[in-house]
Amino acid sequence: MRAKDIRKMAGEGPIPMVTAYDAPTAAIAEAAGIDLLLVGDSVGNLRHGHDSTLPVTVDEMASHTASVVRGADEAFVVADMPFLSYGADTDEAIEHCGQMVKEAGADAVKLESGSHTVELTDRLTDIGVPVQAHLGLTPQRENETGLFRQGTNTEAAREILDLAHKHQRAGAFSLVLEHVPANVARQVTDDLDIPTIGIGAGPDCDGQVLTVDEIIGLSEGVAPFSKSFGDVRGEMRDALESYREAVEDGDFPAEEHSHYEDDVDDFY
């Protein structure tokens, strides 16, 4: 799959997308029939124990992206560009985005977007780096905006629509819409030719994305607009408890987990 194929998916039926941070998750997501993987900077909160996505570095994202790419066969892998890796200096931003594609093997990058990313999106797509835009709640701006719903009045909703058009014109192949009212997301989706992928943006986007940790029930809780479809946290705890008990009770390792050598003299 290429960015040009995803571009054509607008209006074609709901597209499932999921975050992945490592090779096994990528392989399992693909086996579950999910072909769009986002290596989100949410890895910062969900896997690195940070309070926000802000501390995540380019090298960390490149490492997670490379792992996902190794685990995926056919899936389209989007690398999220971390805070301050773009937006200040264009050449530096291109170098960082290039690292994701050239070194880590991503198919595209995602930029938390605003007026500062329109030109960059244009530049990147021009030189062959597909860009997924991201509007609405953009967690990298949490010190500026907080982690609140966006587009909740006419002016703010119009700004999202305007920026969505600007990024489409700049060449973005799709647009993530996070935590915006469903009616705003619907309008943006109807207006654009590229697919919108919603998270907390209602049912009318062209696709949906959630973090894998929330979907499988690995994270401690879920955002109000998210949903757990499993209880991996519970299953993991049960397995670890069983292992601890087996070790403490002397049941593990059993005979079948051990091997002996007759040729070793003077040892039991």
C-alpha to C-alpha distance for 191 and 206, rounded to whole angstroms:
12
Residues 11-50 that bind ligand KIV (CB under 6 A): 19, 40-42
Q: How many whole angstroms separate alpha carbon 150 and alpha carbon 137?
A: 6
Give 71 or 200: the residue with its C-beta nearer to ligand KIV.
200
CB of 9 to ligand KIV, least distance (A): 17
For 191, the enclosing helix (H) or strand (E) is helix 182-191
Among 75, 211, 218, 219, interactor with ligand KIV by CB under 6 A: 211
Report the helix count and the strand count for the chain, using DSSP H and E.
11, 8
Pick the binder of ligand KIV from 93, 199, 215, 216 (CB under 6 A).
199
Considering beta carbons, is residue 57 or 268 the nearer one to ligand KIV?
57
Q: Enumerate residues 171-190 that contact ligand KIV by CB under 6 A.
A: 176, 178
At its nearest, how many Å lie between ligand KIV and the CB of residue 178? 6
Q: Which of 144, 178, 248, 255 is catalytic?
A: 178
Q: Kindly determine how many residues on this chain lie close enough to bind ligand KIV according to the rule CB under 6 A.
A: 10
Q: Does 150 bind ligand KIV (CB under 6 A)?
A: no
Q: Using alpha carbons only, what angle is made at residue 23 by residues 171 and 44, rounded to the nearest 5 degrees?
A: 70
Residue whose C-alpha is closest to residue 236's, from 219, 248, 253: 219
99 CB-near residues (< 8 Å, 6+ apart):
58, 62
- What is the number of alpha carbons within 13 Å of residue 247 lying toward its C-beta? 5
Q: Are 71 and 34 in contact (CB under 8 A)?
A: no
Nearest to ligand KIV of 40, 195 (CB atom): 40
Report how far residue 202's alpha carbon sits from residue 186's, in angstroms, rounded to the nearest whole number: 8
Q: Is residue 132 near ligand KIV by the rule CB under 6 A?
A: no
CB of 210 to ligand KIV, least distance (A): 7
Nearer to ligand KIV, 19 or 150 (CB): 19
Q: Which amino acid is at 253?
A: P
Establish whether 159 is a catalytic residue: no
CA angle 217, 143, 51 (to 5 degrees): 35
* CB of 134 or CB of 240, closer to ligand KIV: 134
Question: Shortest distance, CB of residue 61 to ligand KIV, whole angstroms?
Answer: 10
Confirm or reject binding of residue 209 to ligand KIV (CB under 6 A). yes
Contacting positions for ligand KIV (CB under 6 A): 19, 40-42, 80, 176, 178, 199, 209, 211
Active site residues: 178
